[in-house]
């Protein structure tokens, strides 16, 4: 295998089925596999068993929970790191169970990595509402306070990350010497070498300040890569379909009864 796609899932079998289809629809010439990590979820386990034969390049792992294990960025980090360790593909991509990709997502990332020689490459994304319609509000959806959300949108607009009238978000990772840097790359946008992820694994410790600022595992990974001055390239293409409604941007209801930002 050249690429392992990792999907962590819990309590959302219908979304998992959509994510599996998205990986299967990838127009990629290189051999790739889809590693599904079931986070102690009977419903997802049952749906996979009852779906009939899975595609030959799909394998799943059932990760049980101990008494102290809860949903949150720490748990996600540990499961992502576990999947990286058990894979032997040189490249790793992550597709969350509620997101999808354009069919040329992986191929365009591999082309970018081959062209630049970089171990970390990423795409851009399209922000979509839960129902799949474009998210066009001029407000950052990750801000709890609407006023703060509008201010952050204005900052990102000035930086060229977002523009009114389009749901495309041009994420990037600015170098250390850039004032007021943009440090924003979603996990689903990355293609990372396994070698790099073993050197710089996902951080699994989060504190009150992280919770207040909604700093997730993708943010901490981006910060780590930036601190290490790891060269990063971007395809410039919005090939990730990022569906809003996860724990980082839905403040109207509990994401998971066991959820906690800090373990």
Q: Report the chain (263 residues): mean pLDDT per 10 consecutive residues.
A: 95 91 94 94 81 88 88 93 96 97 98 98 96 96 92 97 98 95 97 98 94 91 97 98 78 64 75
**Structural contact between residues 99 and 246, judged by C-beta atoms closer than 8 angstroms:** no
What pLDDT, on a 0 to 100 scale, did the predictor assign at position 214? 86
Opening angle at CA 205, ends 201 and 209, nearest 5: 125
Spatial distance between the Cα atoms of 102 and 28, rounded to a whole number of angstroms:
11
Contacts of 157 (CB under 8 A, 6+ apart): 138, 163, 164
What pLDDT, on a 0 to 100 scale, did the predictor assign at position 200? 97
What pLDDT, on a 0 to 100 scale, did the predictor assign at position 139? 96
What pLDDT, on a 0 to 100 scale, did the predictor assign at position 263? 72
- Measured from the Cβ of residue 177, the count of other Cβ atoms closer than 10 Å reads 6
Q: At what angle do helices 13-24 and 42-50 cross, to 10 degrees?
A: 50
**CA-wise closest residue to 240 among 101, 95, 106:** 101
Opening angle at CA 226, ends 147 and 152, nearest 5: 10
What pLDDT, on a 0 to 100 scale, did the predictor assign at position 73? 92
What pLDDT, on a 0 to 100 scale, did the predictor assign at position 46? 83
């Amino acid at each position: 295998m050249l690429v392992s796609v990792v999907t962590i899932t819990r309590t959302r079998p219908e979304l998992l089925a959509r994510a599996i289809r998205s990986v299967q629809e990838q127009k990629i010439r290189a051999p790739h596999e889809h590693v599904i990590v079931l986070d102690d979820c009977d419903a997802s386990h049952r749906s996979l068993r009852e779906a009939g034969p899975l595609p030959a390049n799909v394998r799943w792992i059932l990760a049980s929970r101990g008494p102290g294990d809860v949903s949150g960025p720490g748990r996600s980090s540990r499961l992502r790191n576990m999947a990286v360790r058990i894979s032997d593909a040189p490249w790793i991509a992550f597709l969350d169970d509620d997101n999808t990709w354009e069919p040329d997502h992986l191929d365009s990332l591999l082309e970018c990595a081959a062209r630049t020689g970089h171990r970390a490459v990423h795409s851009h994304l399209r922000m979509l509402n839960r129902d799949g319609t474009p998210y066009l509000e001029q407000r950052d959806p990750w801000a709890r306070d609407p006023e703060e959300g509008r201010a952050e949108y204005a900052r990102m607009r000035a930086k060229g990350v977002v523009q009114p009238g389009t749901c495309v978000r041009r994420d990037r990772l600015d170098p250390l010497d850039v004032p007021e840097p943009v440090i924003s790359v979603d996990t689903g946008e990355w293609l990372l070498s396994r070698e790099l992820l073993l050197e710089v694994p996902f951080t699994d410790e989060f504190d009150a300040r992280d919770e207040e600022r909604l700093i997730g595992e993708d943010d901490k990974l981006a910060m780590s890569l930036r601190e290490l001055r790891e060269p990063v390239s971007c395809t410039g293409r919005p090939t990730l379909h990022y569906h809003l409604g996860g724990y980082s941007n839905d403040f109207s209801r509990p994401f998971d009864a066991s959820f906690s930002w800090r373990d």
